[in-house]
Each structure stands twice: as C-alpha cells, then as structure tokens.
Structure 1
Amino acid sequence: MVGRSSGMTEQVAEAGETLEMNDSTGSDAFLLAALHGSQAVAEFDLDGNILSANRNFLSLLGYEAAEVAGQHHRMFVAEGEADTPAYRDFWKKLGRGECDRGEYLRCARDGRPVWIQASYNPVCDGGGRPVRVVTFAMDVTERRRRLADDAGKLAAIDRSQAVIEFDLAGTILSANENFLDLMGYRMEDIRGLHHRTFVAPEQAGSAEYQAFWERLGRGEFSSGEYRRIGRDGREVWIQASYNPVFDPRGRPVKVVKFATDVTEAKLRNAEFQAKVAAMDLGQAVIEFDLDGHVVSANRNFLAAIGYTLREIQGQHHSMFCSDEYRQSREYRDFWLRLNEGQFVSGRFHRVGKYGRDVYIQATYNPIFDLGGRVMKVVKYAYDVTKEVELEKRITSKSSEMMVSVRALVDSIGAIAGSSGSASETASQSAAAAEAGHRAVHQSMASIDRIQASSSKVSEIVRVIGDIANQTNLLAFNAAIEAARAGQHGVGFSVVAAEVRKLAERSSDAAKEISSLIESSVVQVNQGAEVSKSAASSFEGIMSSVQATAFSVMEIAESTQRQRQMADEVSSLIEALARDVSH
C-alpha cells in the first residue's frame, strides 16, 4: 500500500518539506534532532535505496542497521505491492520532488503488519534539484487496530441492529436498511421528517415526549423498551438506546439510535405475563426457596390456608403438613426430588391455621436459572377441600346405596322366581283353556249331529202320524162298510174298530213324540247357542290367557333384565366408591 492522505495536520511533513542541504541553520539542526528523537526517520536515494535509518525506524520494523543499508524500500511493503503501477508512480512522484504523505501499511521483519502515519519528503540541493528522500513516520498501528475494531463493531451493529440518526431537534438524517425494513419505510419517505412519525399521536403531543428530546439535546443518554408505530400502523416494540454524539469540544451535535426488534418477544412476554396473571387470579400460588422456606404467596393461597403473609414468610413448608407426614420418608424424598429439578404433582392433604384440614390439587414446579440450575420452587394449587368432603359423603352414601341395591337385587330375584311360576301357571291355564275350547267345539259338533238326527226323527214321526191318520180314516171307512154289510160285517167291524183305536193311539203317540222332539230340538238349539257362546267365551279366555302368558313372560324377561341392570348398577357404585376413595 503506497499511502492515503488522512486529512490530519502533519507537522512532520511540513517541517520536512522545508529541508534543503545547503541552507540548514542552527534552528534546523535542533528541529532535526527533535524529529529524530520522537519519530522514525529514514533516508532513501531517488531510486528508493536505503541510505540511513534512525533507531526509532529500525525498532519499529524490527531490523538492525546493517540489515537495511543499501536495500530497497520494497523490503518494507507487502509482497506484490512493489510490482504495482501505484508503487512505481509513488517513486516517480518523489523523484520529481513532490512530497507524499498519508497512512501506509508496511511489513516488519517478522511479517507483522505495521501502520505508519508518514511523510515522504524530497530533499533538494542548492539548485532545487531533488537528491534524496527523507521519511518521517509515527507508528499508528494500535490506532488503526482500534479504528478497524470500531469499524468492525459498527459494521456488525449496522448488520444486526436498526440504526437511525437524528439532529438534536429530532429530525431524521439517515437510517440503515434494518431500520427501514423494521418500520416499513424507504429512506426517501422519512428523510427530513421528525421522530414523532414513529410514535403514537397521543405520545407525540405529551410533555413527556418533549422532555425526552430535551434530555437528548442536553447530551443525556436514554435507553429502554419503546413502543413505535410502523408505516402500516402496526405496533412495533424496540429495545433501543438513544446516544448523543459529541463534537471535539464536547457539545452534542446529533443523536444515533441503535435498536433491536423485540416485538415478538414483547408479545410473547405479554402473553406469558397474562397467563401468569390469570393463574395468579385463579389459583393459589406460593414460592419456596430450595430449603423449603416460604418466599411469597398470593391472596388465594393465604385465603385457602387461613394465614397472613407475615405469618408464613420465612417459615418452612412443613408448617402446612401433619405431624405424621412431616416425619415420613416420603416428605424427605419430596424435597429431594424438587431440589433435583423433578416436577411433582397430585392431591395433597395440608393443615391450615388452627389445625383445619385443607386438601389441594397442586403442582410443585422447580424454576431454573439461565445455567440450568434449580433456583426456587413455585407451587400452583386449587383448593379442593369441598370436593374431598363431597367425595367422602359420596363414598358413605355409596356404601348405603350398595346395601339398598343388594336388597333390590334380592327382591328382583324373588320377583323373577314368582314371575317364572306365574309364567308356568299361565302356560298351564292357556293349555287348559285350549283343551276346553276344543271340547266345546266337539260338543257343538255333537249338538249339530243331534239337531240333524232330531230333524230326521221328527220327519219319521210325521210320516207315522200321517200313516196313523190314513189308517184311522181307512178304519172309519171299513166300519161304515161293515155296517152296511150287516151281520156279515160284524167281525170286520170289530177289527176295524180295533184298528181305528190302534191308529188313534199311534197318532196320539206320534203327536206326543213330535211334541217331545220339537221340545228337544228347541233345547238342542238352545244348547247349540250356549255352546257357541261358550266357544266364543273360550276363545276370549284363550286370547286373554295367551296375552296373560305373554305378559308374564315379558315380566319375567324384564325382571331378568332389571336384575342384570341392578347388578351393573351395583358394580358401578362399587367402582365409583373405589374411584372417589382414591
């Protein structure tokens, strides 16, 4: 690297430019002595060969005088630089008598980079012709390292953070891409606008906001979390520092803000805080140190346990436990587990003020620091005392109900037995009714046959009656003929009279038989009607008996199902009692 003008005032360079071989005065000698004492000085011919170097120069680059005498200046520059046009032009410029000054990168003997603030000054003879070159240099390696470090840090900040500059009145001067992307603007959109562009209207008009810029104008630093408004009206939260920048006289000239977008973290923290607040409102919360001493407790916990915070703060957790549990191995292991970072949850019996039994459903949560070490324990709990008391009552009532259900099962069993007997009896009744129905039908068939026979007999009797009437008429006619015959017809007359009597008796008998048969037919018809009525009744009885038998069977089946259901209810009650007790 040949050199770069720094803009700094270089007394060395200006002093060197005045040197002439033949015009040195006493004051010049003193000046040169002072320069040799404080700066690195070396002389070169116009081709760049080393003529001399003082102790400061040799020490700066790590050489001895014998090692550099007669060597070319290129031994101090990086490999490859000596072959560049810029390096050749550098020596041509010096050969023309032109001075060159700036910051130069040089290489020490051990290869380490050395930065020098130097001036290369041509020395002229009496005729004004350059005859050699003198360089006066100061080591600025550390300053360059600091500048590079600062520049690297600034570049890193510029890459990773949102950066914006304001004048002391709050007017925007510049902003980097991170800031523009964060807020949704382009540089031309905001240059020259006031910082209030990014704040809510109610904040921009507040006295607090005015005081904020007044403090920055006085050079006071400000940092914290700030709520800002992006171009689309969205809310943006930033973690930012507002840094006044001072001029060489210590007066503030502008403000640079470095910011990080913490919107997501802010929203996440807000959600987390809301959840914690909700838990604090709805649950009993208490904190312990790792030894089990109470650090703090919320109102819900104090209300559940009956103490004030002053009464329990600094006390050990064991004050809430029964004597038996406090002395148990389980309780010792309980705190060992928490100290090991293990989560513990469940239902716990605790003792409140005045020995009152308190039951809680709780979680004991170890809280870890950033190094992953347990730092405290936070308990979140619900007071379930009423629920436990209810469970105890349920258990008691379940036992009583079990007795009743068992009795009910026994009763249903008896009913089932009776239903079985009734079903069997109903089946027998149905069979008997069906047999009676068949007998009635058989009787009706017999009556029908009797009616038919009676009709035939009646017809025969009617024929007999007709024969008797005809016989009687013949006998009467015979008697008349016998009377006409006189003495000769006496015997025939007697016979005719007997025949007539017999015919009359036959006719009377036929009439009597006919009357009896008619009476029998009437009675048989009445019997038939009665049989039909009986048959109809038997059919009704059969239907009723069958319906009764079906109903009894259904009752028996329902009773069996009820018994099964009662057994299931009994099992469920037993299970409920077990679950509640656990």
Structure 2
Amino acid sequence: MSFFDQLFIVNADPSVLVLSNHDPLLVLMSLCIAVFTSGMALQLAGVARDSDSAWWRQVTIATGSLALGAGIWAMHFIGMLAFQLCAEVRFDLGVTLLSMLPSLGASWVALTVLARRNLSVLQLCVGGLLVGAGIGAMHYSGMAAMQMAPLLRYDPWMFALSILVAVALAILALWVRFGLENRLPSLMALLLSAVVMGLAISGMHYTGMAAARFVGVAESAQPFAMVDSLYLGSAISLITVALTVFVVAANALLRYRYLSQQLRANEHHLRSIFDTALDSILTIDHTGTIRSVNRAAARLFGWSVDELVGMPMARLLNPSEARIFEQHIHTYVKTGQVSLPNAEQQLLCVIRSGQEKPVRISIGVTRSGQHPLFVVFVTDISERIEMEQALREREQQYRSLISNIPGVSFRCLLDADWTMIFISDAVQALTGWSADDFISKRKAIASLYHPDDLQPVAEQIMTAIEERRNYTVEYRLFDRNGEEHWIWESGSAVFDEQGIPRWIDGVLLDQTETKLRNAEYEGKVNAISKAMALIEFDLQGHVLAINDNALDLFGYQREDVLGQHHSLFCDPLYVDSEDYRQFWVDLAKGLFSAGEYRRIGNGGREVWIQATYNPIFNTDGKPFKVVKLATDLTPRRLMEQETRAARDRAEAAAAARSSFLANMSHEIRTPMNAIIGFTELLIGTPLADDQRRHLQTVQQASRSLLSLLNDILDTAKLDRGAIELEDLDFSLRELCEQVCATQRLSAENKGLTLQLDYPAQLLEFYRGDALRLQQVLTNLLGNAVKFTSEGRVCLHVQGEPGAIRLIVEDSGIGIAADRLEKIFEPFAQADASMSRRFGGTGLGTTISRQLVELMGGRLRVESTLGEGSRFIVELPLRAGQRLAPQVRQSLPQLAALHILAADDVPQNLELLQLNLQRLGHQVTCVADGQAAVEAFTHGTFDLILMDVQMPLVDGLEASRRIRALEAAGQRVPLPIIALTASVLDQDRQAALDAGMNGFASKPLDLPGLLAEMARLLGTAQQGGAPQQPVTASGGMFDWQRGASLWGGPVQMSQAIQRFLSEQDALVEHLTCMLEKNDWDTGRSLAHRFRGAAGNLALTHLAGLGQAIELAFNQREGLHLRSLLQELSRALAAVAEALPQVPKPLEKTQTVGREQLRDAQLRLQQAVSRGGLDDQALSCLTEGLQGAQQEKALDHIRQALDDFDFELAQQSLTELLHQLHDEDSQTP
C-alpha cells in the first residue's frame, strides 16, 4: 500500500464510513480559547517589539510562544473532545503531548514576525506560511494520536483546503496586526488581529476535521461523546487560561522589573545630566518655592544646593521681574491656563552678593499630583552679553574699517556675472546702486562694464587665478547716470582644500579723477615740451631725457646727449668754478634755481637761455631728479644789445640836450641878471619919459625871456621827476581869489570881465599842494586872458571832496578840433601865427598838464574855433582843516639878564642865543651838564635854561649838583627852567625833584619861555603871558614861526642847512641802536633830534622824531623800522625842498670868509629855483682859487654844466661845511 493510500481516501463508499458530529459548547469553548490565547500572544509580541533589550525581547517571545502554543494545542484538544464518533476513541498520551511541539514552533514564528518593527510583504507571507504550516502540523499530529477501531483517512482536497485556510488566515492576522496598527486604535487592532488569528487556528482545525474520513464498522447507531468530555474540556480551558495568564503575569513582572531598572537607570542618567548640566535647572512648586536645583544653580547664585531648596524663587530675581513671575504662577494655579511665556526671556537675577546678573530663562510645566511643577532653566548670559558686545564692537570696527577703506571692498563668485557675496556700501557712491542690489542679484556688476573691457578683464583675472597670484586690472564702469568711471581693481582668489577657487576677494578704487589729472598733467607736460626745451638730469647732472626743442636749441642729436653730463652745455671755465659745483649741490638738496644762463651749443655756438632747474621729489619728499625748462633768449639778447646801443645814442642826445640847456641857461641868465638888475636900478633914478618908456620895454622883454627860461627848466624838471608835492591844508576859495586877482589887471586892461564862480555850499578847505595848483590856474587863466579879445573869462569851481573840478572858460579865439591835443605838446600853439600875435613859448599848457597828472588828476580841453575854450582840471583833493587865524602877541618885558643855557644840540643853543640876544639878554652856552656846573661855579647868572636829556651828565644831575653847591655856599637858589619836549607828569615831577623850578617846551616857544622866565623872576604880566596860537601847518616848514624864532627866513635856512649836515648818519645810528636793542640810547637820540627839529620849525621832522622816541620807549621794533625808512625819505625831501633867499654881495677888494659864505648861500638859493647867480659863482671862483676847496667848486661847475641841480645843491652844502670847519679850526 502506498503512503498516499495510507493517509488519503478518494471516492469512499459512504456505507463504510462511520458517522460523526461535534458538541457545540465545546466548539465554542475551543474558539474562545483560540481567540484569548491569540490576543495574549499578540500583546506580548507588541511588548517584545517595543523592548530595547534583545534579551528581554527573546524572553517575551518565548513565553508568548508558550502561551500561544498551549492555546493552539488546547483549542485542538478541546475541539477533539467536542468530536463525537460512532465508535470508541482514545488518545495516545505521547503523541498527544508531542503534537504540542508544532504549535509552539508556529507560535514562536508568529511572535518573532510580530516583534519586528518593520515587516516587508515577503516577510509577512513567509511568516504566515510558517504559522499556518505549524498549526496544520500540530492538528494532524494530534489527529494521529487517536486510537479507535475505524481507520482514519483524509480527503485530499479538504486536507489541502485546511492548510490553505490556516496559512491565509495566519497571513491575514499578521497583516491586521501590522497593517491596521496605524489606522485603528491600538486596542481595536489587537482585538481584531486576535479574532483573525483565533479563526485561523479554529478554522484550520475544523476544516481538517471535515477532511477526516473514518472507515470501518460503527459500534453504535449514534455518535457518542468521550467520557467526561465537557469536564475535561473545561479543565483544559482553565489550565490554558491559567497558563496564559501566568505567562502574561510573568511577562508583566519581568517587564515591570525591566522598566524599573530602566527607570532607575534613566533617573540616574537624568540626575547625572541634571548635576553636570552647565545651565542652572530649578524645580518650583505652585507656591513659587524651589524644590530642587542642580549644582550649576548653586554655582550661579552663590548658595549651596541645600540652601536653595525651600527658598522662594522671587528672592533670586530682580524685584520688578519677581512680581511678574509670581503673578504668572498664581494665574496658572487659579485658571489652569498657561500664561507663562514659552519662549526664552532675558531677565536680571540677584546672586548672593546682591549683584545683578543677566540670565536667560525658559520655563516648562508638569504635574505632580494635584499641583503643577515648574521646571526653570536658567543660563548665565553675562559672558555671552560681553561677547555680543565685543562682537558688536568688532563688527562696528569691521564696518568702520570697511567704510573707511578707500574704494569698494567685495567678495564675488567666479561666474559670468561676478555675483556678489559681499560688497561694501561705498559701491552706491560709485555706481548709484546699493550693496543690497548686487547681493540680492537685482543688479550684476558685470552689466556695468564697458563692452570693450569686460572680456579682456575676465581673461586677465582668470589667468592670475590659474597662476595662483594676485591680479590688478583697470577698466571702465558706467554708473546709474551713464557716466563713465575708470576703475582700478586688485584682488585674489580664495581656494578650498581641493585647490578649487571658491570666490574672489578684492577692492575697487575710482581712478577717474586721477586719470583726468594724469591726462591733464600729460597734456601740460606735452604742451610744455612742445613750447619749451626740456631736459631731465639725475642728481649727478647726467642727461636722462631730452626733447626735440632742446636738441634743436643746442644743435645735438639725441644719441650724442643721453648719458652725458650737464657740463657738455657749459663754458669750461664755469664748469671748473666753485659756483658750478655749488649749483649742483644745491639742486641735490632740492633747491630751485632759475635765471638767465649763458650756455654753449654744438660747435661752440653761444646760446643764451631763460631756464628753471626744478628738483622733482619722490613720495618721501627727497629729490631724485632735476627737470630743466628753458627758452631761447639769444634773439632777445641780440635785441637787447641793439636796444642798449640805441639807448646809448639816446643818452648821448639827452646829454647833448642837457648840456645845451645848461649852457643856454648859463649864457642867457648871466647877461639877463645884469640887464634886469641894472634896468631896475635905472628905473629907480630920475629919467625922461621916453627913457623910462624904453627901459620899461627892456624890462618887460627881459622878464619875458626869463619866464621862457623858467618854463624850459620846469619842463626839464618834470621830465626828470624832480618835483615833489606837498600835502598841506589850504583854502581853495582864497587861492582862486588870489589867482583871479593877479590876472584881473591884465583882463581889465583888455576890457574883459574876469569872474570867479565858487558856490557857497562848496567846501572851502582842502588838502594838497596849493603852490602847484596856483601855478596851474595861473597858466590857464593867463592863457585865457591872453587869447581873449572881448567878452569874459570865468573860473568855475565844482564837485566835492575827492573829485574837484576847476573850469577855466573864455570867449576867445578857440582852438581847431585837430589841434586840441597838440596844444599840450611842448612849444606847440594853436597855429604858427599864435606866437607872432600873442607871444609865449607854448610850454604853459604842457607844464600844467604834467603838474595836474603829478597830483593824480586830469587836464582836458573843450573848444570851438571862434567861440572860445574850456580847460577842465579834475583833481582828487581831500577835505582839509580850517586854518587857525594868526594872532599877534606881545612879549613880556624883562630887564637885561645874564642867562646860562645848556643843550647838547648846537642848533638849539644857536636859536636861544639869537632870540634872547635880540631882546637884550646875554647868553652863555654850554653843551652838557658838567659844563653847566663848571660855568655856574665860575660865573654869575640870573637864570639857567637846562636841557633835561644830555650825554655824560644830564640836566637832572646837573641841577642836583648846582643845588648842592648853592646849599654848601649858602647862596640864593637861581631859577632853573627845564627845556623838555616831554609832557609826561612823571618827567616833570622828576625835574622838580632834581631842583628845577619851571618848564619850557621844545621846540622853542619864545613867548612861553619869556612868560615862564617872568614868572620865576617875579615880573610876570597880569593874567600871565599870552599863548602862542596854534597854526594848522602840516608841511615840512613853518616859515612864519621859524622866521620869528631865527630872525628871518635866511637865518632859518642857514640853521636848517647846518642841522641837516649834522644828521647825515642819524638814521644809521638809530638803526644800529635798534639792532642792538639799545632802547635807551635810541630814545635819547630821537629826543635830541625831535627838539632840534622843533626849534627849526621843521614840523614834519619834529612829528617823526616824537613818533620814533615813543616807539623806542615802547620797544616796537617793526614799527621803528618803517619810521626810520620814513625819516630817511623826509630828511632827503627837506634837503631837496629847502629854498634860499639871496642877499646882495658887497663889493670889496678882497673876498673874505663871510663874503664866501654869503655867495655860497646866494648861489644855493638860485640853484634851488633852477636859476644861476653868476656874481655869486664868480665870487666863489675868485675867493677859492688855489684853496683846498677849489676841487669842491669844480664839482659844482660840473653839476651846473650837466643841468643836475640836486648834485649842485649837495656840493654847495659840502662847501659850506668845509668853510665852517676851516673857520672853527682858525684861532
């Protein structure tokens, strides 16, 4: 019999089959056992899956497999007990127990599959197959344990179906457990999978029972149950349930133990973390009391852990923040709503020392029983804040550095657009777009490139990156307004570890202005190079470069010059000189040199150049080369030579003209003086009428000829600029009236009306040179009267200070339009017949225009032929001061006195002597204080006049000595009058302390001196002496006062001449005192000069002396230098302007010293007026013939022959000094 026939039966005869059925209650019980054990097993599988320990997982799977296997076996055995057959059935114990093994295996496979966290379809199917096969094996092995009379066979199709049912339902149960776990609640998925797994077990069993065929003879007509099958089934069910419960309980206990161990481990782990955490962790209950802290909290707050536990949390917070924290806790406790901020917060905590610290806290809420617990995490952020502050400062420094770096800093990618990762804000000033525009890719820097520059620049940059070096490029960029900028860019690539360039760091500089300057500079250099010769030298003088102009100038080729020394272009004698060596030493020091130079060209050709040698400095300010710029002066030199030759010819012609004028003046004046003099003598004698008429004709003709000579000489002096103007106050109305008065007689003789139109509202007093203005008006009015036959002549005065207009209008013959300007030419008149009809030289208008222009004005003429002319004088006369009236005063009457006068200035003594002797007084003069004391000792005097400041012994010391002598000799004190120019109270008090009794001012005020003398002598007039009126004279001389002091203008002029001769070295001496800072000596010299000038009525010089004395006293060095320069000019002006009044020369057989001095003064007076006194010159020639002064006389003759009256004046002054010195040496 085959194996198949032993197990299966096909198409069995029903008659041979034994009938069977099932007990429904036991069937239900088997089904419940299957579902229950499946549910428990699946739960354990879930526990095993969630277990982290492999050992605990395997224990759980094993115990679960035992429970499930027992359940499968119990379900099968109960199912077998429910089976009722018409035959007695027994079970083999061994086989029955062994049948449990397949169920255990199937259970282990099922739970192992279910314990997986991830399950594939294949694993699901294989697991289901193994579980189904195990269930089937367990069932059929259990069926094999049946012992009965009928034979057990199976229907093959039902047998296969039972296995298929077991496998399909096992797979379905596994899928339900896995597939629906995330879709259904966990309990629902567990129950559903337990049911499916129970159905799989039961379904397989009862399908297998349906496949069983019992072949044999029935033992009874009805199937009957096994003995006590219900009791046995219930027992098996209880045992199975107990076993399952035991397994679950055991697993629960094991799980609890495992979880306890895990919990303790986790707690230990958490405690370790809690205690080792760097942040502070505090647990706070609902009352705000700290329940636990970690060690970090103890370190942060300064209390120990034990001290912190039980402490209110509010104590650790800033008071204001503590109140807010407590309010949040109370709100949560009352409402159960979390109002605490979940986010981190920064607060100020208070540590044990009371110091506040910034912290960051975060709060979590949990529950412990009925009350919440708050977990507070506290982080000390003081260091972080300091770091943030440091970072902010560094960021600010970085930003400041970036913003202050010249140009635009950037970092860009190496793509086609040069995409910017970073670019500084300075890019907006350069391009007009902000940095964010480039970083956010709204604008690409590459789009701003000039189209011609983008590709070349990219190639240069990429080449530099490939060679791993920095790059520098220049290109053009367009800004937002379309303006072009020249950019200088420098940068380098940054490489990663693999050597791949990541980005470029660089900087952009706007070079537009530099480019423009360079272009302008190059343009200027090119322009200079085209216009001038240019050569560059090193500091040793070797040629570095030379342009074409320089090559053409010197006649060389470029290769002949480059590298050669500068001496190639110089004279050998100059090259060997010390000046040439010093020239290059100075250039090497950086000193600029310029001038005209003589140089030598190719072939020895002489070249004159105007050149500048310009040292060029490097960035350290040190010269490194010299640039020479030169222009050719050779043509100008030739022209200058020709000009000098022409000038020499002109000077020769001018010398001839001057010689002619001098000879003419000398030759004509000599007989003219005789003619005029003797004519005046003859007119003064008794004469017949016709003789007197003839002599008057001769006199008029000679005066006309003398006027011609004067005009010619005035023209010559104006041409030479020898006339200086004075600046004095004067009455313009009075001047105009005087001029009109002088011309009125001539006008009335011709039947003309002469009018003066001077408006009443026009200012009367002005400041200027009244004498020269009078000369101009006299010439113009004289011409108007001369050339007017009938009608009137009028002088109109108009304008205001600063713009005065004087118009001389006549109704005369008029001037043709083409002759208007020619009348101002020398010796020119309206036409040739004028001189024949009216006479004259034609020089009046010429002299007038020259004088007006010298005064800063303008003279012009308007005229209509036959109707008359208008000569218009426009002058910038300033407003002046009213002249004080001259008041005549009476002098005190004093008896004849013997007076001792002490002064170190001879002119002062001479002036005192002249004035006092004229009044009948006897004057003894001494030059210093010591001489005054000696004279007082040996003489008898009524009064002493004592200068205060004198050398050796001054007036104060001399007065003390005199008072001491008077006290010693018990003599009556003499009155001593101090002569001083000082008005300071301390100086007057010093004089009184020295024993002086009165004061007299310097310059000499004779009425005031006589009044002071009368006061001290007790003979003063009632009411005191009359005061000298103040004159408003601001010129060089006060002739009225001086003449009254010196007895006349001649004596005054002589005294001034002597004074000037003594002041030749004054300016030099004062300058020396200034350089030596010898302020006292300088003040003393200035004081003497001031007094002497005042006594000589030299008002301007006296004022200058006072200013210089004050400046020395105040030690004003800079002001003194300007005053001394003005003093030098003033002395020269006084010497030039000093006139002389001639005296008649008495005829004697021999020429004495007085006659010589008188002749010298007469000649000097004549020369000062531009004239010549032949008698005085003849007297000097006769008196000095053979004397040592004859050489000085030759200088005077030569100066007169050369028409040089200034030199003649100086020579005459020197002659006077020589005569004076010779007289003083004669015993």
TM range (shorter): 0.3 to 0.5
If the length of structure 1 is used for normalisation, what is the TM-score?
A: 0.48
Greater RCO (Cα-Cα under 8 Å, separation 6 or more): 1
TM-score normalised to structure 2 length: 0.25
Larger radius of gyration: 2
